[in-house]
C-alpha cells in the first residue's frame, strides 16, 4: 500500500499532468498568446545566449579542425607546427571569409531578384531533439522585419519569419514538418506545393497528376499575394526522385533544397514587396549533361592471309 507521502506526490503529479493538458487544450483552441510568452522567454534567455555566443565560433572551429585530424598524418604534423596565435588568427579569418562569402551570395541573389532585403546573422537554432527546425536571426522589427517575410540565403529559399521582436526574429526552416510553400516548376510553369518532412529532402505535390516530372527538374517559389510570406522567383530545389504511382489524383516527388540548412550563418530577410516577378532568372545555370564518350576504332585489314597461318588454323 502506498504511504501517505507517496500518495501525496502522486496526487501532485496528476495535478501537474492535468494542468499541462489544460494548457495544451487552451493552446489548441488558440486561447494562449503563445508568441507573447515566447517573446518573454526570449528576453530572459537573450543575455545567456549572447554570453554563450562568444564560445560558438571557437567550439565550432575546434570541432571542424578535430574532424579533419584523422584524415591524414601530414595534416596532423602541419597542425602541430602551427603556433597558437597563427591558428587563432586563421580560424577567425575562416569565419570572416565564410560569412563574407555567404553575405555576398545572398546580396547577389537579392539584387538579381530586385528584392529589398536586410542581411541577418543566425544567432541560435532550434534543436533536432526538440523537433523544431527554426533559427533565430539578429534582425527584428526595428530593421523592418515582421512575421511572414521570406528568408533567403545565397543559394535560395531558407524559410519564413514566424515571429519578430524588437531586435531579433525567429524563422521556420523549409525542412520543418509544419512548413508549406507554393512553387512553380522551371520552364513548364506547373504549380505545386512543397512541404518539409523533417528529413533533408522536401516533399513536392503537384495537383495535376498528368504533368510530366523528372529527376533533375528545378523549381522556384510561386510567390504569395503582397509578397508575403513568399516572394516569387526564389530558387527552392531540385527533384531527386519522382513517385511513379499513377493511381492517385496528385503527383508527388522528393526535392533536395538548394540551401544547405545545417550550415547557415548569414541569410537575408526580404522586407519589401516585389514589383517584377523574376520568373526563372534566379536559378543557377542548368548543369550541362555529361557527354557520353564514344570510341571509334579503325582496323586496317592485313592485305593477304599468309598460307602457313591458314594451314595451322585448319
Residues that bind other proteins (CB under 8 A): 6, 8-9, 12-13, 16-17, 19-28, 32, 34, 37-42, 44-45, 48-53, 55-56, 59-60, 63, 122-132, 134-136, 162-163, 170, 172, 176-178, 197-199, 262-263
Decide whether 72 or 178 has the Cβ nearer to other proteins: 178
- For residue 255, which of 230, 236, 273 has the smallest C-alpha distance? 236
Q: How far is the CB of 17 from other proteins (least distance, A)?
A: 6
Tell me the sheet residues that pair with 237: 219, 257
Decide whether 226 or 240 has the Cβ nearer to other proteins: 240
Q: How far is the CB of 4 from other proteins (least distance, A)?
A: 12
Q: Tell me, what DSSP letter sits at residue 269?
A: E
Q: How far is the CB of 234 from other proteins (least distance, A)?
A: 21
* Residue that has been written with the C-alpha cell 496528385 in this structure: 250
Q: How far is the CB of 34 from other proteins (least distance, A)?
A: 5
Pairing assessment for the beta strands 150-153 and 266-270 based on DSSP bridges: antiparallel
Q: How far is the CB of 11 from other proteins (least distance, A)?
A: 10
Centre a 10 Å sphere on the Cβ of residue 53 and count the other Cβ atoms it contains.
13
Decide whether 2 or 313 has the Cβ nearer to other proteins: 2
Decide whether 209 or 252 has the Cβ nearer to other proteins: 252
Question: To which H or E segment does residue 257 belong?
Answer: strand 251-257
Q: Tell me, what DSSP letter sits at residue 297?
A: -
3-state per-residue secondary structure call for 184-220: EECCCCCEEEEEECCCCCEEEEECCCCCCCCCCCEEE
Q: How far is the CB of 32 from other proteins (least distance, A)?
A: 5
Decide whether 6 or 273 has the Cβ nearer to other proteins: 6
Cα separation, 97 vs 83, in Å, equals 21
- For residue 221, which of 160, 177, 285 has the smallest C-alpha distance? 160
Decide whether 45 or 79 has the Cβ nearer to other proteins: 45
Amino acid at each position: 500500500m502506498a504511504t501517505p507521502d507517496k500518495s501525496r506526490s502522486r496526487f501532485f503529479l496528476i495535478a501537474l499532468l492535468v494542468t499541462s493538458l489544460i494548457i495544451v487544450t487552451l493552446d489548441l483552441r488558440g486561447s494562449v498568446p503563445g508568441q507573447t510568452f515566447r517573446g518573454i522567454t526570449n528576453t530572459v534567455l537573450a543575455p545567456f545566449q549572447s554570453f554563450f555566443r562568444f564560445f560558438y565560433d571557437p567550439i565550432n572551429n575546434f570541432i571542424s579542425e578535430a574532424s579533419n585530424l584523422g584524415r591524414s598524418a601530414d595534416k596532423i604534423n602541419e597542425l602541430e607546427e602551427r603556433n597558437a596565435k597563427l591558428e587563432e588568427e586563421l580560424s577567425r579569418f575562416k569565419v570572416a571569409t565564410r560569412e563574407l562569402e555567404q553575405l555576398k551570395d545572398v546580396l547577389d541573389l537579392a539584387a538579381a531578384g530586385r528584392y529589398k532585403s536586410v542581411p541577418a546573422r543566425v544567432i541560435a537554432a532550434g534543436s533536432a531533439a526538440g523537433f523544431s527546425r527554426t533559427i533565430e536571426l539578429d534582425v527584428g522589427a526595428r530593421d523592418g522585419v515582421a512575421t511572414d517575410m521570406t528568408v533567403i540565403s545565397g543559394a535560395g529559399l531558407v524559410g519564413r519569419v514566424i515571429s519578430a521582436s524588437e531586435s531579433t526574429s525567429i524563422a521556420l526552416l523549409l525542412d520543418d514538418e509544419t512548413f508549406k510553400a507554393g512553387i512553380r516548376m522551371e520552364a513548364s510553369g506547373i504549380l505545386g506545393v512543397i512541404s518539409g518532412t523533417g528529413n533533408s529532402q522536401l516533399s513536392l505535390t503537384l495537383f495535376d497528376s498528368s504533368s510530366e516530372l523528372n529527376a533533375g527538374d528545378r523549381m522556384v517559389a510561386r510567390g504569395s499575394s503582397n509578397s508575403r510570406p513568399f516572394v516569387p522567383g526564389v530558387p527552392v530545389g531540385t527533384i531527386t526522385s519522382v513517385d511513379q504511382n499513377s493511381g492517385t489524383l496528385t503527383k508527388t516527388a522528393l526535392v533536395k533544397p538548394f540551401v544547405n540548412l545545417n550550415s547557415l550563418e548569414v541569410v537575408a530577410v526580404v522586407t519589401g514587396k516585389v514589383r517584377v516577378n523574376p520568373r526563372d532568372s534566379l536559378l543557377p545555370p542548368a548543369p550541362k549533361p555529361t557527354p557520353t564518350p564514344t570510341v571509334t576504332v579503325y582496323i586496317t585489314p592485313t592485305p593477304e592471309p599468309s598460307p602457313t597461318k591458314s594451314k595451322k588454323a585448319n
